Structure 1
Amino acid sequence: PSSLANATMTSSVDLAVNPGQAETSQGDETKNANVTVWDTESDISKNPKRTSWFVIFASALANFSDGYQNNLEASILLLPQRPWKGVTRGPIQVLTSTLMATSAAPICTAIYLITLTATNNNLRTAFHAIYSISIFLPLFVAVLRFRMRDGLLFRRNNFKARTSPPYLLVLKRYGWRLLGTSSAFFVYDFINFPNGIMSAAIINNVVPGKDVRQTAIWQFILALLAVPGPIVGSWLCNRIGRRWTGIAGWTGYIILGFIIGGCYTHLTTHAIAAFVVLYGLMQSFGHMGPGATIGLMSVELYPTAVRGVSYGVSAAFGKAGAAIGTQVFTPIRDACGPASTFYLLSGLSVLGAGIYYLLPEGRDIDLAAEDESFKIYLRSEGFELDKVQQ
């Protein structure tokens, strides 16, 4: 529920505040008009600066909370009361994190679409409907948080009794791994976030008449096509390993990105359905590969004592990649056309696959043995891990 709550919260912000295009009738004439979730008579819509700052604050707060919770969840999922066995921890991690996060987009879009249909394209009502679900789920999770208890491995191996963990020693032992997971996170979010943000604008531009409801239908189909990705990824991560599952996802990005980019004009002009299906399959490959495994690898490649910190650093690079990628993709799209972004996506996916190839495989790592090995390493360097309450 926590992963789903975080994702619906951030998805609702992105979906609700993005302007759309709707057709409005005036007498016998029909014209395109820009519409937003804000009522034209509201105080907020009369003050654009106030609206902009509200949107920025809401988005920042939602994404801050999302990043904080993702860090917490990634460590918790790997360390329940009784540690998962090696054959189950990967699929469970993917299904309870990536799948839930991926499912949020079609859920929010479905609510948005149902509300539009019921209210005859009343975006103000759609705004409140989306936020209702995004507020309810985090409140539900907050109640569950009070009943949570730290996992056994965490209670045995954390640095709670110390105020200053030996970060230099951690970097000395795990620095290359941290560089690898951080780089992979950066490249994936550099591609994934702009791709998701621009998908609505791209679909809006190819829908005849730019009808807001038709655009929402195609957005829903696009979001739904991505959901099978994490399910397949949860199966593959044990069958072929985390690393090769990620590489398979990057390969799908490469192939489909070049196909969509090369056929963009024909697809968006004569075959919108084929365009959406290919676009959705490309996103599904992303969620199957790096989307499903980068979070998993960023926690299981490190010992319990520094797992949360290591994931947090890796994810922070991902957030930086998302911010930078959005600023890079947008001017390229404006200058060279939407097709160019798919070529860029495919080219960067080659880099992502290369980074994944250099990462160690996490499938066969024994978490308890890794913790003991880390303790031995610290003692050999003159650092004794304080005992904590079992």
Structure 2
Amino acid sequence: MSFFKRLTVAGRQAERERAENIVHEENVDVEMPASSEKQPLITLPVVACGAGLFSDGYINNVIGSVGTILALEYGDLWSESRAKNVVSAIVFAGTVVGQLFFGVLADRWSRTNSLLISTVILFVFTALAAGSYFHGSIIGMFNILAAWRFFVGIGIGGEYPAGSVGCAESTGEIRSGWRHFIFILFTNSIIDFGFVIGAFVPYVVAAACHNEHLSTQWRVSLGIGCVFPLVLFVMRLFVKENQEFNKNSMRGARTPYWLVLKFYGPRLVVVSLIWFIYDFLTYAFGIYSSTILANIFPSGSPLTTIFGWNTVINLFYMPGSLLGAKASDWLGPRYCLILGVTLQALVGFIMAGDYANLSQPHMVGAFATVYGIFLSLGEFGPGNNIGLLAAKTCATGVRGQYYGIAAAIGKIGAFVGTYVYPYIEAAGGNDANASAQYPFYVSSSLSILSALLAFFLLPNVGQDTIQYEDARFRRYLEENGWDTTQLGLNKDASLEHVENGNGVADNKASL
């Protein structure tokens, strides 16, 4: 352990020196925050900003169990309705809308106020979804449930550009060497935890109802999703705008989008493409999940059995996310992503190549183990680090929009995957093994592409990258004639009274 500790310390020091050299070469003055072992490991803004993504995991996963219950309760009326597919998919459309809208709102108005609005949307429409009703019409109720799910998606979308970005900026106030770990813990890890709880709650509710009272089961399972946003809303009332946003936001100025596009456009394309690929390919992995469950329990098994095993499968996400979170501090997010997708691609090729043997009922244990490793590696690599890279490879003034666009393109990838993979499976024809193998050959190949994109086209991200990136962008704006004294001001603020970094009025600044 001492060897790894020395290696980690040396790596962080080298990384900091490289970043400082870049800043000095560009003749940029950077006032770095004091770094001390006495700095906290966690703060309220980090928790309050990032933890809202728990709702993303819970609400997206619980709907699968809700669909299972609705199929048992309403039979063909549910199975043959258009709402069956819409209820699950429409939340993606709402999330994309929310990511784009709140990305602009978070940059042009406020991180914290944007978060409060998204939390209210989450709470209200999750409650409405749980109470879905339409004048006694079952089909009408299905349609109303789909409509409320769209608005729930908008609330979830707001958590990405406002919450994750605010969390990333707030990690500058915690101890160096733990900033990536804490960010990942309260973003991707908590999404994964939401998935686990989203599978576990229907199990508990089904057990409490003795596998009966189906209407109560799905409404309670959805309704419990209101609890976390309510608690989070109270926490967020005490959160103030972080220092980076106050110093470097463009909320009081007209954003120079042409300069931003020239400076960050290529990087945004790469980050968005990696996120698109990650979300696109994860939808093929459901093939293995359904195979495991089909082999574990026979048709007609009680809901407690189905939901119990679903919880176990979702637990596979957690080890990779938690172990990868600290590895991101040691290796850096870029190399952690490359390592994760490369190993995942290798396991994917093995699983696809040996699918005929692994999918046999007597191989369920081995299948589940390999599948668990496969899921964990996905979280270790892109699951943990693509959001971190999106949050920390852009300047504060446009970070919400940059992150929102990248996240929205990722969600579009997930949506596209639901339509494309059936065609990839169909290419296998009547060969059942080939139909299952082809999607994984495609997915593993795309994982290798992600690794290459990250290796050649993404920058390293260190502990203090946000401060250095703001300095680098500020220098670029000045070189192109943009007045950087506008940064960090409200629209109604006077440029004749700008506070310096110590909070003292500086009357020299003017247009």
Identity fraction in percent: 25
Q: Of 224, 228, 232, which aligns to 1:141?
A: 232
Q: CA deviation at 1:309?
A: 1.2
Q: State the Cα distance separating 1:220 from its structure 2 match.
A: 1.3
Contact 1:242–1:293, Cα closer than 8 Å, also in 2: yes
Q: Determine which of 380, 405, 409 is the counterpart of 1:288.
A: 380
1:370 paired to 2:370: no
Q: Does 1:206 align with 2:295?
A: yes
Q: Which residue matches 2:492?
A: none
Structure 1: how far apart are the matches of 2:204 and 2:479? Answer: 62
Q: 1:293 to 1:284 in 2, by over 3 A?
A: same
Provide the rounded CA distance (Å) in 2 between the counterparts of 1:204 and 1:15: 14
How much has 1:66 moved relative to structure 2? 1.4
Deviation at 1:380, TM superposition (A): 1.3
CA distance in structure 1 between the partners assigned to 2:248 and 2:326 by the alignment: 30
**Which whole-Å CA distance do the structure 1 matches of 2:312 and 2:53 have between them?**
21
- The 5 A counterparts of 1:322-337 are 322-333=414-425, 336=428, 337=435
**Per the alignment, do residues 2 and 181 of structure 1 end up closer, same or farther by CA in structure 2, a change over 3 Å counting?**
same
1:352 aligns with 2:444: no
What is the distance in 1 between the residues matched to 2:154 and 2:54? 16
Offset, 1:63? 2.5
Q: Which has the larger radius of gyration?
A: 2
1:71 Cα shift? 1.5
Counterpart mapping for 1:29-178 below 5 A: 49-80=139-170, 83-84=173-174, 86-122=176-212, 123-162=214-253, 164-178=254-268
Task: State how 1:165-244 maps to structure 2 within 5 Å.
Answer: 165-192=255-282, 194-195=283-284, 201-210=290-299, 211=301, 212-244=303-335
Distance 1:281 1:61, change over 3 A: farther
- Note closer, same or farther for the CA distance 1:281–1:50 as it changes in structure 2 (3 Å cut): farther
Check 1:196–1:12 CA distance in 2 against 1; reply closer, same or farther (3 A cut).
Answer: farther
> 1 CA distance for matches of 2:378 and 2:477?
37
Structure 2 CA distance for aligned equivalents of residues 141 and 363 of structure 1:
29
Structure 2: distance between partners of 1:73 and 1:239: 25
Matching residue within 236, 243, 259 for 2:350? 259
Q: Which moved more, 1:110-119 or 1:319-328?
A: 110-119
Query: Offset of 1:245 from its aligned partner?
Result: 0.6
Per-residue deviation at 1:6?
3.1
> Greater shift after overlay, 53-62 or 241-250?
53-62
Distance in 2 (CA, whole Å) between partners of 1:14 and 1:120 is 20
Distance 2:379 2:156 in 1: 18
Shift, 1:321, TM fit = 0.6
Compute the displacement of 1:7 (Å).
2.1
- The answer to whether 1:2 aligns with 2:84 is no
Judge conservation of contact 2:316–2:372 (CA < 8 Å) in 1.
yes
8 Å Cα contact 2:172/2:464 also seen in 1: no
Residues 281, 174 of structure 1: CA spacing in aligned structure 2 closer, same or farther, 3 A cutoff? Answer: same
Indicate the residue corresponding to 2:441 in structure 1: 343
How far residue 263 of structure 1 moved from its aligned partner, in angstroms, is: 2.7
Matched residue SS, 2:251: coil
Alignment of 1:312-331 (within 5 A): 312-331=404-423
CA distance 1:200–1:59, shift in 2 (3 Å): farther
The residue that corresponds to 1:384 in the other structure is 483
Deviation at 1:36, TM superposition (A): 6.9
Structure 2: distance between partners of 1:344 and 1:207: 27
Matched residues in 2 for 1:208 and 1:360: separation? 47
Q: Does 181-190 or 80-89 show the bigger shift?
A: 80-89
CA distance in 2, matches of 1:9, 1:278: 27
TM-score by length of 1: 0.86
Asked if the contact 1:18/1:36 (under 8 Å) is kept, the reply is no
Q: Number of matched residues?
A: 376
The aligned amino acid for 2:368 is V
CA distance in 2: counterparts of 1:220 and 1:45, whole angstroms: 35
Aligned residue identity for 2:199: T
* Counterpart position of 1:276: 368
Cα distance between partner residues in 2 of 1:333 and 1:205: 19
3-state SS of 1:79 partner? helix
TM-score (normalizing by structure 2): 0.67
Change (3 A) 1:267 1:301: same
1:54 and 1:346 mapped to 2: Cα distance?
A: 39
Mark the runs of 5 or more structure 1 residues left unpaired by the alignment. Answer: 25-32
Deviation digits for residues 93-114 of structure 1 (CA, Å, limit 9, x no counterpart): 1111111000111112111122
Tell me which amino acid in the other structure corresponds to 2:337: G
**1:28 alignment counterpart:** none
1:249/1:285 contact within 8 Å kept: yes
Could you report, residue by residue, the CA deviation over 1:141-164 in whole angstroms, capped at 9, with x for unpaired residues? Answer: 1222222111001101101112x3
**CA contact 1:81–1:151 (8 Å) conserved in 2:** no
* Structure 1 residues 104 and 344, CA gap change in structure 2 (3 angstroms): same
- Between 1:365-374 and 1:329-338, the stretch displaced more is 329-338
Task: Please tell me the residue identity of whatever aligns with 2:325.
Answer: S
Unpaired runs of 5+ residues, structure 2, are: 1-50, 82-131, 429-434, 490-497, 500-511
- Indicate the RMSD between aligned Cα atoms, in angstroms: 2.9
C-alpha contact 2:169 2:466 (8 A) present in aligned 1: no
CA distance in 1, matches of 2:292, 2:306: 6
C-alpha distance in 2 between matches for 1:343 and 1:44: 45
Instruction: Return the letter of the residue paired with 1:218.
Output: W
Return the offset for 1:50: 3.0
CA 1:365–1:183: 2 relative to 1, 3 Å: farther
Counterparts of 1:35 and 1:233, CA distance in 2: 44
Question: 1:383 deviation in Å?
Answer: 0.9
Q: Deviations over 1:310-341 (max 9, x none)?
A: 11111111011111111112343356333333
